[in-house]
Structure formats: C-alpha cells, structure tokens
Amino acid sequence: MPYYIGDVIKDSKKLIARTPEKFEETGIRVRLNTRVDEIRADTGEVLLTGGERLPYDTLVVATGTVAILPDIPGTDLNGVFVLKNLRDGINIKEYIREHQCQKAVLVGAGFIAMEMAEALKTIGLETRIVYRGELPVKKWDPAFSAIILEELTDKGVIFMPHQSPVAVEKGDQARLCLVTDQERIETDLIIFALGVKPETALAQAAGLAMGESGAIRVDHFQRTSREEIFAAGDCCESYHRVSKRWVHIPLGDIANKQGRVAGQNIGGYAATFPGVVGSNAFKVFDLEVAMTGLDERTAERSGYVPASEIIWGTPVARSMSRGHRLGLKLIADKTSGKLLGAQAVGQSGAVSRINTLSACLWSGMDLDEIGFMDFAYSPPFGGAWDIIHTAAQILKRQA
Amino acid sequence: MPYYIGDVIKDSKKLIARTPEKFEETGIRVRLNTRVDEIRADTGEVLLTGGERLPYDTLVVATGTVAILPDIPGTDLNGVFVLKNLRDGINIKEYIREHQCQKAVLVGAGFIAMEMAEALKTIGLETRIVYRGELPVKKWDPAFSAIILEELTDKGVIFMPHQSPVAVEKGDQARLCLVTDQERIETDLIIFALGVKPETALAQAAGLAMGESGAIRVDHFQRTSREEIFAAGDCCESYHRVSKRWVHIPLGDIANKQGRVAGQNIGGYAATFPGVVGSNAFKVFDLEVAMTGLDERTAERSGYVPASEIIWGTPVARSMSRGHRLGLKLIADKTSGKLLGAQAVGQSGAVSRINTLSACLWSGMDLDEIGFMDFAYSPPFGGAWDIIHTAAQILKRQA
C-alpha cells in the first residue's frame, strides 16, 4: 500500500502548481509523491520509502479511506475503476473518451453509484446498476428507495437487483464482461461503488488505538491515543451526538471540520469538534435525497425505542408547488419524545428540511417543540404548516 | 367598526359554500355575516347587532388586525385600497380589470409592498413605491435593503424615497392623484401598505388586559386575563424566545399555531404555544428575503450586547451556483456567544438558511456550535463549509 504525504493535493493539477509554493511562503514545506512506510511513534519520526527519516513533534494522520474492491478475479483489468478521489474521476473520463465507451456498469447502489449513474447516463452511456439487494440506497426507507428507483428507471438507467459479481472478464461485443451469479453483462466500463474502509494500516502499525468502527480512535480535540499524534478526516471516528457513540462516517464536510479542529489545537488555540448528527445528501437526476440522525435499526441498537412516520406533502405552499412532492420520514424515541432521525426525498425542499432537522437533532429537541417551531413562512417557500410541523405532530400521536 | 364571526371564512367563496355545512355535521354552528357589538364577560355572552345575545362558556377572540390608513384626505376615494384579507385582494384585481388600470402606487415599503410590487408589475402596471425612508424593508440591514432596491429597479419598479403622502385626489390624466410632500403622482390605483395594528376594541371594552405591544395579552395556553376567554392570531401577543418578551408579530403561520393550541386547550387536551423566534420571509421577483430573531437594535433593547457580521457566498457549492449569490448576516451576543438573529438575501438558499438558523435560535445555540454544525453536504446543495459555518466562525472572532 502506498502512502503519500499530500495525496489529495497531488491530484489536482492546478493545486499542484500553486499549493507547495503558497505553503512555502509561510515556511511550510510540502513533500509530494513521498511515501511514508512507517510511523515510529517512540522516536517521533516517520520513515519514508528510500530510507529518509522525517522527525516530528506533532504528527497528523490523514490517510483517508480505501475503496472496497470485491475479492473476485479480473478487477485489475483495464476499464475497471473505483471512484474515491479526483484522480479516479479524471481517469474514468479519459478512459471513456479514449475508448468511446457506450456501456457502463456500476456495481453497488449507494450514493456514489447514484451520482455516477446520473453522470454516465447524462453523457450518453447505457448505464446499468448491478446490486445484490432489492432497492437502491438501503440506508433510506424502502418507500423512499422505491421512488429513487422510479427516478432511475424514468431516466433510462437499468437497475439489476438480486445479483452479485463473481468475475470480470474480457468481453465479446464490448471491452469487458461482468459475470454475476445470474448472468453475463457485456460492458465497456465497470465502476465498483461498494463503499470505503478507513485506511489505518500505518496508524495500526504505530500502535495507535482503533475504535469499534475500525477507524482511528480520536477524542474531541482530534487527538489519537498518543498525545502528539492527531488524526482527522475519513481515517478516524466522529462522535455521533444522537447515538452517543463514536462512528465512522467518511464525508468531506466532516473531514474539513476535523482538520480545522486538529489544526487549531496544534496551533495552540484550544478547539473541540462537537461531533456529528449523521447528515448526508445526494442528488440523482431531478431528486433531492437527504437524511440525518438514526434510522429505526441504529436507534434500537443505541438503546432507544423508535417510532416513525412517513408524511407526503409539498415543498412549498400547495398552490405554488408545480407538482413537486416531498416525502418526509421522522423517527423519534417513544420514551422521551425526542427526534432521533429524519429522511426526505423530493424534487425540491428535501435537503433544506433535513438541514433544519439536523439543527433540531443537534440540540436534542422533542416532537412537541418541532411541531410548533417558527419558520420563515411565505407561500413561495412553504405552507403555514410546514411538512416538518405536520410530520412531528402526527408522529407525536404514536411516539 | 364591524365585527364578524367567521370573517376569514366569509372571504373565500369556496369555503363559504363548504365550511358551514362541514362544521354543522360535527354539531358546530357557523354564523356568518354576524357582527358582535360587545362581549359581556361578566354574564358570559356576546351581544350581536340587532340585539340577539349568544351565551358562552368559553369564548375565543380572533379579531385579527386592521390595516393602517394614514390620516389624510381622500383615502375613501374609489381606487384606494389596503391589502389585509382575501376580499381586499379580489377587490383590487376586479378594480384593475374593470378600469383597465395602467399605473399603480404603493405607499410603504414593507413586505406587503414588495409582494404587491412584483404582482402589479408582473401583470403590466407601471408600479411606483412611495416611501418616507431611504431604502425598502427597513427591518433588514441596509446592505440587504440596497440589494432589494436594485432588484426592484432592475425589474422596472420605480422607487420614490423620502416622501410622504399628504392627500389623495381625483387625477387629471389618471383616475387618482397621490399628493406627497414632494410632488403629485397621477395613478389609477393606490394601495396603502403601512402595516397593521391589532384589532382589540371588543377585547378592551370587555376589560381584557392588553400587553405592552398593544395586542391582547395571553399566556402560553392562549388564555387572556379571563380564564374562560382565549385569544389567538394577529389580535394577540406571542412570546419571543430570544428577546424573552411578549411581542406582536401578526403572521399567518403563528396565527395557525395559536389557534390550534387554543382549540386543544378548550377541547381538554393541555397544550402550550412555545413561542416564536421572529422568523419571516418574502419573495420579491427573483430574490428570497428572510430573517429570524433580533436585529442589533431589538437585541440591545432586550439587554444583549450584539455583534454582527455580513458574509457573502453562494447558496450551493461555488462551481454549481450558476452565478447565484447569497448574503447572510448573523447577530450574536458578545457576552454569551449565543446567536441572536440572522438575515439572508439571495436568488436561492436564503429561506433554507434562515429556517435552519431559526432552529438554532429556538434552542439557544452559540456560535461555536453553529460554526461546526452537521449539514447534509453535497455540492448541488451546499459547500463542505456552508455559508452558515463561515459566518458563525467569522462572527465568533469578534463576538
């Protein structure tokens, strides 16, 4: 496994040109294309490939994640990709252009697969999604996943459920063939979008403690189990304010915040990362899809007694909603009445509701409060009773 | 002053047809076009015009507001309007159609004037706004009001600042003439949009206590100073969770909530109205304009030491923002670091930010928390650092 200092920076040609210079102006040296083979925590140095030793007083581990590839033959063939960083994206685009690809297969049905399905279909490729389950994006309620499937199908993406890849081979009519446990799919391009796992090999070898999630354990200051070593971003855990557990949620906005907190602490300005509530979103064609907090399963595992309700409404006042519909699911704790999570799907207004509910989750608000919250009401932006109010009041009756 | 039971219902022809019948099915009798001359609180009855007495065990006062008309000659001329209820709206439309109006003048520059300017200009009228101040919507920061003025001007609305009406007369070239302290403006239609005041005459005559705002005093159960008399909607006060004062904010969403709380309590289900944070919004042409909480002036009056900052950014990730800009102003208390208020203006994304910040205000969150809050991040919906994060972190440096 190669490790690079400045891995992300290397990926962007513009940044490569600018960033080292910019850093060096401030006295910071950036070493690109430089692999770390080992962290020697006891002596406070990192060992680079080639034998050079770099001493440190403070070290930040920001090794990110690795994309998961299935353990099947043929994944090393030309035309098989994962999508983890900007370089992967550029490689995929160049490959499509060079080989005038006509057909693409995505393996997996999470949000990367959804976003790539839109991107590939939009540039004209026949696009298939191969998925072992029944419905896409399994973190969402099946009612919402069904709507996402409808959107994919409406836009011409072919969803192939209930099958798993067993091999990649050279194709007959196309460049490649994805062999599944059900059929053989000829295609020019295969992207495995099966998720990521934290890249912790260096940290583990250095004896840093890992969390239960398998990511590097940190505290609210982004310190690892060694005081002088910090970790930030997708390689480490975050505190989940609703489940009250440390979790691994590898997302760019969280990584940014953790990086800033680590940097502030290293720079001598005490800062804490207050944690996450599990908010995330993606766009697939004309749908906004978003969630925050816990679903029923994770809520139960965290000791709550969840109740939930799905409400259908409009993103703005009904008379002005141009046919747009909005589905909102709320999950709350029967014991305390507190909101535990929310999911939303619609042509518009889904993300804005989830962000507002994220703020409610952040402070532990209950359904009584949420049912009467004060929003900026005006018919072009919402009804006098927003879908949030209605959902909270209806769920309250059973929660 | 006439008072009607069921005043709002009367206004909508469809509801007139349906509602009384629907109510009567459940045993509720609706008396339309029925004026109450007096509430006799001591004997528990209302006195109707014509002498009939209606006894009550529980009474709800929902008399709303009256639109303010200036004390100048000629406001009773045909073609002079206020816009308070649906009937007013229908009358204005009918008048414009009947008299083939070409020119309209709005007096005042609050959100009703903004919405009407868009409506009138959109149907082709030459539209003027006459205002005694310098910039429209004075509750917003002058930097934002200037942007709203630019939008009005871009769209062809003529803004005439620094003048006050002194009379309405019959016109020479047009149907009417608005005489101001500066000039004579020929016009076919004049709408006074100078705000509203609570309609409290009946309540005051009945000896109900009034709040400092001039609206009917209520508690969190919507009870007035008499246990058996409730009040709800624009005629009564609301508790402001940020200023910790009872205020008069006549808005439809608040009225709905108060009505529901009053109804629940009367029906024997204890309910409390938890108050407001002062959220409101309007659309003017292609701009969303929204605010919540307190501005510096009201914050000072409430005992806070306000600091504020205006940030300019984009509603979604910069690369996807199609030229849209978003301005966000945050106001916070220097002593506690708590958020006190927020204002936003932009082609999109303003209302969603204000709703999220309303939830933050609701629970009394401080800038440290808001600067690191967890939103549903995805480039089509926002940056990894949302404008809310950036604004909170920048204001934190001075607050």
Contact A281/B at CB under 8 A: yes
Q: Rounded to whole angstroms, how far apart are CA atoms B56 and B8?
A: 21
Could you tell me if residue A378 is inside a domain? yes
Could you tell me if residue B185 is inside a domain? yes
In this structure, the answer to whether residues B226 and B177 fall within a common structural domain is no
Residue A19: what pLDDT?
Answer: 62
Contact B86, B11 (CB under 8 A): yes
Residues 283..322 of B with a Cβ closer than 8 Å to A: which?
283, 288, 290-292
**DSSP-derived secondary structure letter, B285:** T
Model confidence at B5, pLDDT cuts 50, 70, 90, reads very low
Q: Rounded to whole angstroms, how far apart are CA atoms B49 and A307?
A: 52
Q: Rounded to whole angstroms, how far apart are CA atoms A249 and A255?
A: 9
Residue B9: what pLDDT?
Answer: 36
Interchain pair A385, B352: CB under 8 A: no
In this structure, the answer to whether residues A363 and A248 fall within a common structural domain is no
In this structure, the answer to whether residues A298 and A318 fall within a common structural domain is yes
- The domain that contains B145 carries what CATH number? 3.50.50.60
In this structure, the answer to whether residues A76 and A172 fall within a common structural domain is yes
% of chain A exceeding 70 in pLDDT? 94
Residue A1: what pLDDT?
Answer: 29
Sign of CA dihedral A123, A128, A132, A133: positive
Model confidence at B321, pLDDT cuts 50, 70, 90, reads confident
Instruction: Note the Cα A363 to chain centre separation in Å.
Output: 23
Sign of CA dihedral B382, B384, B389, B393: negative
In this structure, the answer to whether residues B239 and B342 fall within a common structural domain is no
Hey, is B373 helix, strand or coil?
A: coil
In this structure, the answer to whether residues B189 and B86 fall within a common structural domain is yes
Interchain pair A381, B275: CB under 8 A: no
Helices (H), B296-364: 296-301, 350-362
pLDDT per residue over B222-231, tens digit each?
A: 999 999 999 9
Contact B122/A at CB under 8 A: no
In this structure, the answer to whether residues A238 and A178 fall within a common structural domain is no
Could you tell me if residue A339 is inside a domain? yes
Q: Of A151, A168, A194, which closes a domain?
A: A194
Could you tell me if residue A132 is inside a domain? yes
Size of interface A-B (CB pairs under 8 A): 152
- Tell me the shortest Cα–Cα distance from A202 to chain B, in angstroms: 27
Query: Which residues of chain A make contact with B239, given a CB cutoff of 8 A?
Result: none
Interchain pair B352, A354: CB under 8 A: no
pLDDT per residue over A235-261, tens digit each?
A: 999 999 999 999 999 999 999 999 999
Model confidence at B187, pLDDT cuts 50, 70, 90, reads very high
Could you tell me if residue B388 is inside a domain? yes
In this structure, the answer to whether residues A327 and A389 fall within a common structural domain is yes
Mean pLDDT of A179-199: 98
Helices (H), chain B: 7-11, 13-25, 86-98, 111-122, 142-154, 201-205, 252-266, 296-301, 350-362, 367-370, 387-398
Query: Which residues of chain A make contact with B282, given a CB cutoff of 8 A?
Result: 378
Could you tell me if residue B87 is inside a domain? yes
- Characterize A124-138 residue by residue with b for buried, 16 or more Cβ atoms within 10 angstroms of its Cβ, and e for exposed: ebbbbbbbeeebbbe
Give A169-208 as a DSSP string.
EE-SSSSEEEEESS-EEEESEEEE---EEE--HHHHHTTP
* Nearest one of B233, B222, B241, B240 to B196, comparing CA atoms: B233
In this structure, the answer to whether residues A290 and A259 fall within a common structural domain is no
In this structure, the answer to whether residues A221 and A183 fall within a common structural domain is no
Which one of B358, B369, B384 has the shortest CB-CB distance to A374?
B358
Q: Which two tokens stand for residue A301?
A: 């595992």
Residue B31: what pLDDT?
Answer: 87
pLDDT per residue over A334-352, tens digit each?
A: 999 999 999 999 999 999 9
Contact A84, A67 (CB under 8 A): yes
Could you tell me if residue B256 is inside a domain? yes
Q: Of B176, B194, B212, which closes a domain?
A: B194
Q: Look up tokens 């064609």; give the residue.
A: A285
Interchain pair A256, B384: CB under 8 A: yes
Q: Rounded to whole angstroms, how far apart are CA atoms B237 and B273?
A: 11
In this structure, the answer to whether residues B187 and B204 fall within a common structural domain is no
In this structure, the answer to whether residues A206 and A163 fall within a common structural domain is no
Q: Look up the ipTM and state it.
A: 0.93
Domain count across chain A: 3
Could you tell me if residue A229 is inside a domain? yes
Query: Which residues of chain B make contact with A375, given a CB cutoff of 8 A?
Result: 253, 279, 355, 358
Q: Of A194, A216, A232, which closes a domain?
A: A194
Contact A140/B at CB under 8 A: no
Domain of residue A60: give its range: 35-65+197-266
- The domain that contains A328 carries what CATH number? 3.30.390.30
